[in-house]
Every structure is written in C-alpha cells, then in structure tokens.
C-alpha cells in the first residue's frame, strides 16, 4: 500500500485538520522508510513540535491517530514507540478496505452478515450481555437530536450483538463494517437523514430487535434485521 493510499484511509476515517494530516503523513513516511525503526522510541512531542514547526497539541493529535491505527504504542512517562508490524504495512489493510468501500458495498455485506449475526446472538448471547445490550438501548433512546451521539450508541449496540455471537471472526468482520460506516459518505448521509423523527423511528426498531433477542425469538429477530436492511437500502437509493 502506498503512502498516499494509507494517509487517505486515515483521513477518511478520522476527522482531522490539514496541519494534523501533514504531521501524520510525515511521521508515517518516516516509519515506512525505516527512519524510525521497529520498537524505536519516537522523538518527544516537544522535539517533534520544534522539528516540524507545529504546536505540541498538533503533534499529540497526530500521535493519537497513528496509535489508533496500530502504527505506534504510547507509554505514559516513556513516550511513543513504533510497533513491529508497521515497518512493512500489508498490501491491503483494513483501513484501506474500509476507505475504498462504497455505500452499496456496505449494504451488500450487511445483508450477508447481519441476519446470521443476529441469529447466532439470539442463541449464544449470555444473560449478562443481554442486560448490557439493554443498557445501550437506553442510551440510544435518550438521544433526540444529536445524530453523532446516536451513531456512537448505535455502533456499540451492533458491536455487542456481534460479540454476543461468541464468534470472534464475526466480531472482527463487523468491526470492519463499522469502519466502513465511518467513511465520509456516511458523515454526509447523517446530516441529511438522521432527523429527530428518523431517530425516533430507529429507536423503535432497535427496541423491537432487543425484545426479540431478550425473548430468544430467533425468527422475529432475523425478520426484524432483514426488514431494517431493506428500509436502509430503500433510503440509500432515495439519497442517491
């Protein structure tokens, strides 16, 4: 994967200023070139700030981006260190896959994955996880106008269902689905369609799904998620 592709993936997944993006690009380039070797400690924030001619908080934000993508690890009181796998990035990373996925790609994989994910969760989710899912639903239902807060709780709701399948591969696959949802098209879409009325409609849907999972009603839960996906696909076509 090229530097341009990787940093484009970073930018698509993370809202950042142009200055922070420049620092991310620079530090990533140094890691890829071997200037910062595996397990090597990066210069301090103060040193990087002076070296790059930016404020320390800009350096800190850039380091947070690199850490969130697994390129570095940070130790309190010790500094930042290059992770071993970052010296040679894989040809196709999860970040790149998510960044290159279209809204239609996303809906197709959700249609394949989510019905069986829900089916397995109904069968395998422990009672304590169903209780935790109910708490997330309460968070969802407390949102009335804040689309960003709604989506954060929505992601947590789906992650809990994915984890409830008991299959770590499904949970990992769904993490990638959520990464794809976070792309720029999704941000623009939220502004257009997550009105208070639609937030309320989604809350009712998720309440129905939770009740089906809590009742161990596989047929009802799977039917709900299929209808929900059909509605989202219809909405996608209207938005397009």
CATH assignment of 3-86?
1.10.10.10
Between the CA of residue 58 and those of 45, 63, 160, 230, what are the distances in Å?
A: 9, 9, 33, 43
CA gyration radius, the chain: 20
**Exposed, middle or buried by CB within 10 Å (0-12, 13-18, 19+), for 83?**
middle
Average pLDDT score over the chain: 82
User: What are the tokens at 216?
Assistant: 């161990």
**For 32, how many CA atoms within 13 A lie in the half-sphere containing its CB?**
15
Largest Cα–Cα separation, the chain: 61
pLDDT in tens, 74-97: 887 788 999 876 444 444 556 667
Whole-number pLDDT of residue 151: 85
CATH assignment of 101-239?
1.20.120.530
Whole-number pLDDT of residue 191: 58
Q: Where residue 189 falls among pLDDT bands split at 50, 70, 90?
A: low
Q: Which residues partner with 73 through β-bridges?
A: 81
Q: Where residue 148 falls among pLDDT bands split at 50, 70, 90?
A: confident
Cut 0.75: pTM above it: no
Place of tokens 């422990």: 126
- The residue extents of the domains of the chain are 3-86, 101-239
pLDDT in tens, 106-141: 888 999 999 999 999 999 999 999 999 999 999 999
The number of beta carbons lying within 10 Å of the beta carbon of residue 195 is: 12
């Amino acid at each position: 994967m090229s530097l341009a592709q990787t940093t484009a993936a970073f930018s698509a997944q993370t809202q950042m200023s142009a200055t922070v993006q420049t620092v991310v690009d620079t530090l990533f380039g140094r890691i890829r070139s071997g200037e910062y070797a595996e397990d090597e400690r990066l210069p301090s924030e103060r040193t990087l700030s002076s070296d790059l001619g930016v404020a320390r908080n800009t350096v800190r934000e850039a380091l947070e981006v690199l850490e969130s993508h697994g390129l570095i690890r940070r130790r309190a009181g010790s500094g930042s260190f290059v992770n071993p796998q970052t010296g040679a990035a894989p040809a196709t990373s999860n970040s790149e896959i998510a960044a290159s996925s279209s809204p239609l790609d996303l809906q197709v994989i959700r249609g394949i994955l989510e019905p069986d994910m829900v089916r397995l969760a109904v069968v395998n989710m422990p009672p304590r996880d169903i209780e935790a899912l109910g708490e997330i639903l309460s968070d969802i239902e407390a949102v009335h106008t804040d689309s960003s807060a709604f989506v954060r709780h929505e992601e947590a709701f789906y992650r809990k269902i994915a984890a409830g399948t008991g299959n770590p591969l499904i949970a990992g696959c769904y993490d990638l689905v959520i990464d794809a949802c976070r792309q720029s098209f999704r941000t623009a879409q939220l502004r257009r369609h997550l009105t208070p009325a639609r937030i309320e409609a989604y809350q009712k849907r998720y309440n129905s799904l939770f009740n089906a999972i809590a009742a161990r009603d596989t047929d009802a839960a799977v039917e709900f998620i299929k209808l929900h996906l059909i509605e989202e696909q219809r909405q996608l076509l209207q938005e397009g």
